[in-house]
Amino acid sequence: MAKSDWYKEMAVYQIWPRSFCDGNGDGIGDLWGVLEKLDYIKSLNVDAIWFSPLFPSPNADYGYDISDYMDIHPDYGNLEVFRQVLDGAHARGMRVFMDLVVNHTSDEHRWFVESRKSKDNPYHDYYFWRKGRLTRRGRRLPPNNWSSIFEGGAWEYDAKLDEYYLHVFAKKQPDLNMANPRVRDEVKNILRFWLDMGVDGFREDVITFIAKDEGLPNSYPVLPVANGVNHYANRPKAHEYLKEFKREVLDFYDCFTVGESPMTSPEVALSYIAEGENKVLDEMIAFSHMEADCFMLDMIQLPFNLVKMKKAFSEWQYKLHGKAWNALYIENHDHPRIISRYGSEEYRTESGKMLAAMYILQRGTPFVYQGQEIGMLNINLPELGMYKDVMAENNIDIATRFLPRSTAMKLLARSSRDNARTPFQWDDSRNAGFTTGTPWFFVNENYREINAAQQEEDPNSLLNFYRAILKFRKESPVAIWGDYKEYFPKDKNFYVYERSYEGKRLLVICSFTRKALRFDAPEGFDLGAGRLVFANYESNFFIMNGFTSRPYEMRVYLFE
């Protein structure tokens, strides 16, 4: 069944439910809160909502450890209120996507509870249970040398079974054995369950990890984190499994899929998303552009390198062109806030607008993460005990092997995922209007200056800028369909690119510095002939086809 291309024109808003809006006063964001905010979401000019996991979960990894795939976490509501949200979104012309987390479950999921009862339990083979190895001296070792991404080794011993289970993430997130056809049937049932209810698609969590190499071999050289990844990232079987899900389920619905793909190059991404009979997903969530101020993990920090960021964006733009469609994002629940990273807290509104234009006007589907549109900033928690994220402790363990604890704590404060998980700042009342109860997590104290209500009133606010630029993109074929071409790729201060379509051209100019620098328009552009459609300063002169930039200045010219 042919699928339509609506996803190419849409923009998506991501909700991390625990921190969005509390509707019942228990201090935790929920679906009643979302119901109250549907008009707000619609007002952003987005076309869809992606919910980070809403399912029952013991929250070892805040919802990414699911204990029941076919229900709603009581903290967030129930299936009835979910249906109301779904209907409310649909009535406003917005689609709804769920998070599909099937690389692993929670250890409290019924399948896992059963699987550890005995070796002949029908669920035993739903997971990777393996015998340990013995050293010559008889010491017990795990089945291989893999390390997890969140918590030390990748294997956990169960004394009763005298076996280990595999967990690529936290101990409470045992990996599912996708090679087992019964597990794949379960996944298909989950997909059907939500699609039949009216959900419009899925963001598929670490979907590139779902196939493990047979025999689970040792991995070399040994890395402190994610050792073994070469044996479970982008293995050929992953395509096979995804093809099966598509052929047997997804093809029967007009739905959208975007896969999360850490450590995946655009070439490899194309093997999943390129148009043609091997296409198994619509889009891929890239990571390389989020590594311009760090190395692989956010914790290993480096000075921000604009050339590296531009190279990453441009690579995906060029390599996917004409073959596949990009997913565009600069924030989500897994990364610190972007203004605190790539922009400037001092020039919050200016750099926030510049960053928004920089990625939203590229070719692809823009995703906006809750709070990004009002310029929420990092919270920079000072003590380990204040963190909620399972990664925090592990990162500190690893970092303190090489660094003094005080340095490690500073790195954590800047890099933690918790920076993006503080409650949404709705207004300047107590708890930022997020809850009438006691918030489950710290509210950033800057909520009196940074909040949605205040920005509603201000026509020049970041919030209203997001609305305007998303509206512009929606209505402007050159912004949706235009070819992408980068100028001055080696320039360390400006990111400049063009989009062109049917004789129209957009020129996007973004300064990533507070320095006043001369900018000269690329050849072939006469600024005087263009219409300035977006800028983050008033009065935009140009002299001799260029200008001297103000801090984090952005200008977008349209030539038609």
List active site positions: 205, 260
- The nearer residue to ligand NOJ, 100 or 535, going by C-beta atoms, is 100
Closest distance to ligand NOJ from the beta carbon of 519 (Å): 37
Closest distance to ligand NOJ from the beta carbon of 151 (Å): 11
- List the strands of the sheet with 163-166, edge to edge: 129-130, 163-166, 155-158
The single residue listed with the structure tokens 């103000």 is: 550
Query: 3-class secondary structure for 299-350?
Result: EEECCCCHHHHHHHHHHHHHHHCCCCCCEECCCCCCCCCHHHHCCCCCCHHH
Closest distance to ligand NOJ from the beta carbon of 29 (Å): 16
**In this structure, what token pair is assigned to residue 81?**
């209120």
**17-52 burial, b if ≥16 CB within 10 A, otherwise e?**
bbbbbbbbeebbbbbbbbbebbebbbebbbbbbbbb
CB 118: neighbour CB atoms within 10 A? 11
Closest distance to ligand NOJ from the beta carbon of 550 (Å): 36
DSSP, collapsed to helix, strand or coil, labels residue 171 as coil
Told to check if 424 binds ligand NOJ by CB under 6 A, we report no
Closest distance to ligand NOJ from the beta carbon of 282 (Å): 18
Told to check if 334 binds ligand NOJ by CB under 6 A, we report yes
- Closest residue to ligand NOJ, judged by C-beta, is 64
- The nearer residue to ligand NOJ, 206 or 379, going by C-beta atoms, is 206
DSSP, collapsed to helix, strand or coil, labels residue 297 as strand
Dump the DSSP string for 46-100.
-SEEEESP-S----TTTTSS-S-TTS--TTT--HHHHHHHHHHHHHTT-EEEEEE
- The nearer residue to ligand NOJ, 104 or 505, going by C-beta atoms, is 104
- Asked if 153 and 169 count as a contact pair (C-beta separation under 8 A), the reply is no
Distance CA 61, CA 283 (A): 24
- The nearer residue to ligand NOJ, 200 or 204, going by C-beta atoms, is 204
- The nearer residue to ligand NOJ, 47 or 334, going by C-beta atoms, is 334
Q: Contacts with ligand NOJ in 14-73 (CB under 6 A)?
A: 61, 64
Told to check if 101 binds ligand NOJ by CB under 6 A, we report yes
Dump the DSSP string for 358-378.
HHHTSSSEEEEETTGGGT---
Among 151, 156, 175, 260, binds ligand NOJ (CB under 6 A): 260
Q: What are phi and psi of 12, to 5 degrees?
A: -120, 140
Q: Contacts with ligand NOJ in 124-143 (CB under 6 A)?
A: none
- The nearer residue to ligand NOJ, 172 or 505, going by C-beta atoms, is 172
Among 169, 342, 387, 465, binds ligand NOJ (CB under 6 A): 169
- The nearer residue to ligand NOJ, 64 or 155, going by C-beta atoms, is 64
Told to check if 226 binds ligand NOJ by CB under 6 A, we report no
Q: What is the largest CA-CA distance in the chain?
A: 80
Look up residue 418 and give its DSSP letter.
G
- The nearer residue to ligand NOJ, 100 or 374, going by C-beta atoms, is 100
First and final C-alpha spacing in the chain: 38
Distance CA 339, CA 330 (A): 10
Closest distance to ligand NOJ from the beta carbon of 418 (Å): 12
Q: What are phi and psi of 452, to 5 degrees?
A: -65, -40
Closest distance to ligand NOJ from the beta carbon of 206 (Å): 5
Q: Interhelix angle for 390-402 vs 405-415, to 10°? A: 140
Told to check if 360 binds ligand NOJ by CB under 6 A, we report no
Residues that bind ligand NOJ (CB under 6 A): 61, 64, 101, 169, 205-206, 260, 333-334
